[in-house]
């Protein structure tokens, strides 16, 4: 989904997993965002990598949501696909909610998604 304005919009995911509610932070195109120096590595709780084996992006996000649900300190996560390799990467984060200002563009990243996590 493409934002209708340059401003960042929020999209609420309909599901609730393990008492956590996930809200996607909509990033401006192109979707080549990765965690900036304020996030990586100091706020990373766990990192994941999946080889390019046809995993669909929504399956990867669901996997990361499940992992985040198992960590009480997880307050956000982001994922992206390596532009050249096709590998999927995901990082669970602790601390406060993330904003667009926490991310930087990277020419080697594609299909970025960012999610804030709230207790329900």
From the CA atom positions of the chain, what is the Rg in Å?
Answer: 13
Q: How many residues does the chain have?
A: 120
- Judge contact between 75 and 95, C-beta under 8 A: yes
For the entire predicted model, the pTM comes to 0.83
pLDDT in tens, 95-117: 999 999 999 999 999 999 999 99
Is the pLDDT score of 73 beyond 50? yes
pLDDT in tens, 15-66: 444 689 999 999 999 999 999 999 999 999 999 999 978 888 889 999 999 9
Is the pLDDT score of 6 beyond 60? no
């Amino acid at each position: 989904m493409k934002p209708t304005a340059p401003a960042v919009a929020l999209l609420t995911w309909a599901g609730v997993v393990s008492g956590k509610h996930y809200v996607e932070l909509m990033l401006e195109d192109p979707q080549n965002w990765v965690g900036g120096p304020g996030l990586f590595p100091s706020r990373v709780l766990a990192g994941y990598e999946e080889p390019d084996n046809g995993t669909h992006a929504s399956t990867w996000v669901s996997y990361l949501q499940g992992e985040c649900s198992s960590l009480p300190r997880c307050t956000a996560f982001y994922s992206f696909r390596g532009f050249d390799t096709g590998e999927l990467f995901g990082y669970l984060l602790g601390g406060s909610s993330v904003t667009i200002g926490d991310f930087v563009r990277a020419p080697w990243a594609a299909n970025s998604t960012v999610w804030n996590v709230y207790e329900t």
